[in-house]
Each structure stands twice: as structure tokens, then as C-alpha cells.
Amino acid sequence: MLYCGAQRDRDKCFMRYHWIGLALLILTLAGCGRATSAEEQQLTLTGSTSVTPFAEQLAELFEHEHPGNKINIQGLGSSAGIQAATNGTVEIGMSSRHLEEEETAELKPIEIARDALAIIVHPSNPITNLSTEQIRQIFTAQVTNWSEVGGPDVPIVVVTREAGSGTYGAFEELVMNKELPAPSALRQGSNGAVRQIVAKDPDAIGYISLGIVDETVKAVSVDGVQASAEAVRSGEYKLVRPFLFVQRKDASLSPLASTFLEFVLSPEGQEQLVQAGLVQGADAQ
């Protein structure tokens, strides 16, 4: 603390306080400038939990190549992402299902990749192939024992996604033929949770994005076709869905959002998605 004792020192003391105060003001303004700048260089994407892990990989690479920019990814479900983009909460929403007719009136879909739904069982399960009809019967509880489809004589544990998720919507469209999963099915909030349960239960069956299938689970063939990127590209594998970024038709993207979208659709961004097990999007460069 400065001490101003004698009268002759007061002018000198005043000047010291003056310069200290000015310095503090400059530092404060500089700090505010940095905070504002940082806020302007942040982008948040919300939506599909299926798209989330791939968007996070792209965001990490983008941030490395574009220092000073921050891309936040929030996995809240496709419907949440579509709604957030519609009401302007975010510039870009994420969806793993096609937009419905009323949604396309306000939103522009951009296909960043295509993904296959993999039907997964525990690695110890001897089943290697199921027909689409058998899968539907299992999830509607018309078939409740593995022995009914050529497996061991044990009850089937069905694991599904919650209604409203893009994964569930795609499964409903591609497999269920408008039938609902049995009330006894275990409903999970993310693909990762489905994979975790199936990985720990030899009697379980579920469905997840092909891109996150790992050694802890086994993807069975569907109608005699093994789920793979090659089978998706050729059209042989039928359980395929889009990975979309969605934006309002009547709003322009900010420079950061536009740059990130260009990166995702660029050869570099697409290569990252292909390496992760997805297929190049129809809107890629």
C-alpha cells in the first residue's frame, strides 16, 4: 500500500495512484477484449448422440488446425438438435435421421456422412446372421429365446434406444415396419450405453452405429450381408441412415460455423469420417 505522509510527497503520491489506476483500467479492458474475442470464436453444435463422437473427432482436429477457435459438441438426441436449429438456439444441429416434411420447410439438411445400423450381440453368441424379419420378431417379443433362431436355449435380452433418438427413428423405419419394441426391452439413452450392455451380457441383442462397433461386441450379418462400409457403398447392406448437419434456411452461418462446415465436407474431414467407419456424405466436396 502507498502511504502519503508529508505534504511535499502528496503530489508525487497522487501521480503514483493515477498511473496505477490507469494501468489497472487498461488491464481490465484488455481482459474484457479477450473474453469477448473468445466468445465470438466459439461454436456449439447440438443433436444426435450417434453423430456426436464423430463430430468431436472433427472438432478436435479443426481446433488443432485453427488455434483460438473452440467447437463445443452436445449430444442431446436428433430431435433436440433439429429443434435447437429451428428455434435458432444453435447455428448447426445434428441429426441421424431424415428430416420430416414439416422440418424441411425451415431447415436445410447437409449430409456429412452415411452410417449403417449394426445389429450387435455378445462375441460369445454363436449367431452370425439374422433376417430383417427375425430381428423385428425379436424386438417385438414374438421371438423370445435364442433357440428359436438357431442359438442356445436362453432368453433373449433386448436392448433398444429411447424414442426420439435418430438411431431409434432409423431402426423403426428400416426394421420395425411401424411396430413398437416390446415393453420389456431395455431402453438406453445413447449408442455407447447399448454397446456397453450388450458387451457385458451374453444373451443380449441391440443396435448401434457401425462406426462405433469394436471388439467388445459382434455385428451379425443381416439378410446374409455383413455390415461394412463397402456393403453400404455398394447398396448391398440395407440398414443405412444419413448423418446430417441442419441449419435454418433463412439464416446465414457465422464465419466460424461456415469454416467448420467447409472443413467437415472437405477431403480431409471426409477422410477422418471414412477412417472412423462411415461412408462419405452426399454433400461432401
pLDDT bracket for residue 277 (50, 70, 90): confident
Domains in the chain, please, with CATH?
A: 42-114+242-280 (3.40.190.10), 116-234 (3.40.190.10)
Residue 11 is inside which H or E element, if any? helix 10-40
Summarised one tens digit per residue, pLDDT across range 86-121 is 999 999 999 999 999 999 999 999 999 999 999 999
Summarised one tens digit per residue, pLDDT across range 43-70 is 999 999 989 999 999 999 999 999 999 9
Q: Is 274 exposed, middle or buried (0-12, 13-18, 19+ CB in 10 A)?
A: middle
Mean pLDDT within 219-244: 93
Supply angle C-alpha 105, 108, 111, rounded to 5: 135
Distances (CA, A) of 24 to 12, 16, 20: 19, 12, 6
- What contacts 24+ positions apart, CB below 8 Å, involve 21-24? none
What is the value of pTM for the model shown?
0.70
Neighbours of 214 (CB within 10 A): 10
Supply angle C-alpha 203, 49, 68, rounded to 5: 140
Summarised one tens digit per residue, pLDDT across range 117-135 is 999 999 999 999 999 999 9
* Pick from 137, 146, 140, 193: nearest CA to 165: 193
